[in-house]
Amino acid sequence: MSILVNQNSRILVQGITGNEGNFHAWQMYQYGNNVVAGVTPGKGGEWVFEGKVPVFDSVKVAREATGADVSVIFVPAHFAADAMLEAADAGIGLIVCITEGVPVRDMMRVRRYLDQKGSKLIGPNCPGLITPSEAKVGIIPGNITKPGNVGVISRSGTLTYEVLYAMMLLGIGTSTCIGIGGDPISGLNFTDVLEMFEMDPLTDQIVLIGEIGGTDEQKAADYISRYMTKPVVAFIAGQSAPPGKRMGHAGAIIESGSGTAEEKIKALQEVGVQIAKHPEEIALLLNR
């Protein structure tokens, strides 16, 4: 079982003719995804991947022609907001924005519009998601995980890869892994994804990878205490970060003593979440 994407997902790539978009779209295509279309304004009528995937000028036309229901965005930061709005306006149900550096003001506008349209957003500034052996949407390597019953949610791209690989080495597979990103304003958050995993009958355990800044992990702890019946293992990055210094993501900053790793770890431990001391320990805790 999976959440959000599976082997039937029909994937559209915005920015497919750019260097990054083309490279990662090809990785997705090679993984076995249904990459049904690309979008680059002014390049409509072209084809990529040896004539197998058509390119369109707009998401609306691409969706009408191919039935795409997932869009992944690889465009520069100053075009990313318009790309997300265009995908939502075309009726795309799931939008995955890989682009980093999207201005906060732009994201405020995007969130308001997507909430009205009912489209789900992952990102921006995220690695995307993967349902092993079914669908890979974004930049998570397909060779570091295998199918299984552990759902993974993460604010950190690099730590996601490390944890997935450590799990695989111990024979632990993944139902779906979602990198939600760590920007101050983004799409799906921990509680959104926890709810999906709680409802998924083939996800038995959940891994949560958090980081300093904000209160998303504390909100996740509150949700876990109220609604979760499945065990959760967590790791919080940035435990040695000094106040006022951003670490990694734009949202990973301790301000006025708030958003510290200690606060987040305490909140999660109080509701029964096992806390790993380092990323590799997550796999060991799952095997207990």
**H helix and E strand count, the chain:** 9, 14
Q: What is the pLDDT of residue 240?
A: 61
Looking at 24, 78, 249, 278, which residue is catalytic?
249
Q: What is the pLDDT of residue 284?
A: 95
- Supply the CATH number for residue 241's domain: 3.40.50.261
Instruction: Specify the pairing of strand 128-131 against strand 174-179.
Output: antiparallel
For residue 113, being part of any structural domain is answered with yes
Q: What is the pLDDT of residues 260-274, one digit of tens each?
A: 889 999 999 999 999
Known catalytic residue at 78: no
Q: What is the pLDDT of residue 247?
A: 53
Same domain, 69 and 179: no
The residue from 63, 89, 122 where one domain ends is: 122
Same domain, 78 and 214: no
For residue 179, being part of any structural domain is answered with yes
Domain count, the chain: 2
- Within 43-139, strands assigned E span 47-48, 53-56, 70-73, 94-97, 120-122, 128-131, 135-138
Query: pTM for the whole thing?
Result: 0.93
For residue 130, being part of any structural domain is answered with no
What is the overall mean pLDDT for the chain?
93
For residue 243, being part of any structural domain is answered with yes
Which residue is listed with tokens 């939008």? 95
Q: What percent of the chain has pLDDT over 70?
A: 93
- Residue 256 domain boundaries: 140-286
Whether the per-residue pLDDT at 142 is higher than 90: the answer is yes
Contact 9, 33 (CB under 8 A): yes
Contact 210, 216 (CB under 8 A): yes
Contact 239, 263 (CB under 8 A): no
